[in-house]
Structure 1
């Protein structure tokens, strides 16, 4: 996790995405100004994985289910992706 002002973190996200050849999506119509970059895009066959980096307020409530890490590692293993 990276902390800073919204502007600092957004600039960092843009810089990292540019270095990795990724796109940053910004929705300024959203009341909080939605900002995210997709670092791993889903494939066309199951199982699929996708990964995003987002700018969000600190203190967000954890929503991850108890078995997520195990399922994520197994899915990445099946797809031959780094976990």
Structure 2
């Protein structure tokens, strides 16, 4: 099934597996072939096409750490700019 759908990360892989369990492999495959006539559809497009609401999934521990580090970086940049502005 993954050869028909654009999988970007592990969350997409899990979402596709859940969708196949809920809607059935055959129905998901038909939808992927219908949507993917020019390129592979995203998993989110399959959800919309099939009218299924995507469940909230927990991010992997490594994703949480990466998100936090990116946020910390930008907060540090903002604080640095604010301190320069306050010094004027």
Greater Rg over alpha carbons, structure = 2
TM over 0.5: no
Relative to the length of structure 1, the TM-score reads 0.26
Query: Which of the pair is proportionally richer in helix?
Result: 2
TM norm structure 2: 0.25
Which structure has more relative contact order (CA 8 Å, sep 6+)? It is 2
